[in-house]
Amino acid sequence: MLRRFCTVLTAAAFASFGLVGCGAPCDNYCDATADYIEFCLENGSQAAWTTAATAGWNNWGAADKDAYVGDCREDVPAQAAASEDTAGFEEACTDDANRYTQLFERGFCADLP
């Protein structure tokens, strides 16, 4: 109960300053996903990745990795702010970031984000 109250209070404080977002979990997600995409565009041998490599970062609506990260860091916090379960959204960002980091570190290109 106290945790939920603190979460609501923190969200209200951030909203009053126009800074609603998920901070580090969102940034980590964007960075990890960009690293994974970059690696797989160059090294992915599965059909989905070889197809994606022909359009490159345009698959994700970006000109390059930096543009992707910048767009992601704007879009994902906005999604978090709109979510009814901000904590759950942040947790999902953390889980996905960890998954993409593990895939990248293993040199394995699975699904496209």
Q: Is residue 8 part of a domain?
A: no
Ordered per-residue pLDDT tens for the chain, 113 residues: 333 333 333 333 333 333 445 788 889 999 999 999 999 999 999 999 999 999 999 999 999 999 999 999 999 988 888 888 888 888 999 999 999 999 999 999 999 99
Print the SS3 string covering the chain.
CHHHHHHHHHHHHHHHCCCCCCHHHHHHHHHHHHHHHHHHHHHCCCHHHHHHHHHHHHHHCCCCHHHHHHHHHHHHHHHHHHCCCHHHHHHHHHHHHHHHHHHHHHCCCCCCC
Q: Is residue 72 part of a domain?
A: yes
Q: Is residue 101 part of a domain?
A: yes
Q: Is residue 16 part of a domain?
A: no
Please give the tally of structural domains in the chain. 1
For 63, the token pair is: 């000109």
Q: Is residue 12 part of a domain?
A: no
Whole domain around residue 90: which residue ranges?
21-106
pLDDT for the residue numbered 21: 54
Q: Is residue 48 part of a domain?
A: yes
pLDDT for the residue numbered 20: 47
Q: Is residue 4 part of a domain?
A: no
Q: Is residue 62 part of a domain?
A: yes
